[in-house]
Amino acid sequence: MNSLRIFAPAAAAILLLAAHSAHADGITSLKVSPLVVAPNGHVEATVQGTGTCMVRLWVMREGPDGEPWSLSTQKQGSLPMQFKVDQSMKGALKEGKYQLQAESVPNVVPSCPKAQKTEIVSFKVDEPRAAPPMAAFVNPCPPGWSVIPGSAKAGGAFTCKPVKPAPAQCPPKHEWFDDGCVAGCKPVVY
């Protein structure tokens, strides 16, 4: 009977430790946004998990010449934890493909229970592409007519007006007239 009283608390302690280790603190995942960024932009990396850890974020890039490059930064604090990857990180965010990986740093107090690494998340730095050239304006009006400025509407409606000819050289005792519908030279009445 005494052995049962001693065994029961020991068994309960073992079960409690097993349950605690199944739900131990640590890094669970890494989220990165955006996945495509301009060279002068930045990427937000969020290390997901629970607990307080020293976290190291690795930024790795394969250069255009195939030369690998990497840089790490670390923080201590509670998870989830955010990192900003931008131009302030020497050599970061040049054009190319990048990978981020987060890991807990072992042997630091406080520390996650064991060294942990997340999956590798990729993102890309890409030069913004120039917008396609705009199509040259095509006058939708018939020959000799032009669109009245401001009359073109989103649905495709527009209004045309006749293109006025340059005033002609009228003969002596005649003057140029243009009433909007017709134009020409008429005799000057004295």
Residue 6 domain flag: no
Nearest to 55, CA basis, from 66, 46, 63:
46
Total-model pTM: 0.51
Do 110 and 171 have their domain in common? no
Q: φ and ψ at 12, to 5 degrees?
A: -65, -40
Residues 114 and 162 in one domain: no
CA dist 96 and 94 (Å) reads 6
pLDDT tens digits for range 10-66: 444 444 443 344 446 778 888 888 888 887 778 888 888 888 888 888 888 776 666
* Closest listed residue to residue 32, CA positions, set 41, 40, 19: 41
Q: Tell me if 68 sits within 8 A of 62, measured CB to CB.
A: yes
At 96, which CATH number? 2.60.40.10
Angle among Cα 109, 32, 58 to the nearest 5 degrees reads 50
Average pLDDT over residues 97-114: 74
- Number of domains observed in the structure of the chain: 2
Could you tell me if residue 4 is inside a domain? no
Q: What are the backbone angles phi and psi of residue 2, rounded to the nearest 5°?
A: -65, -35
User: Is residue 54 in some structural domain?
Assistant: yes
Give the tokens for residue 122: 């990729």
The answer as to whether 57 is a domain residue is yes
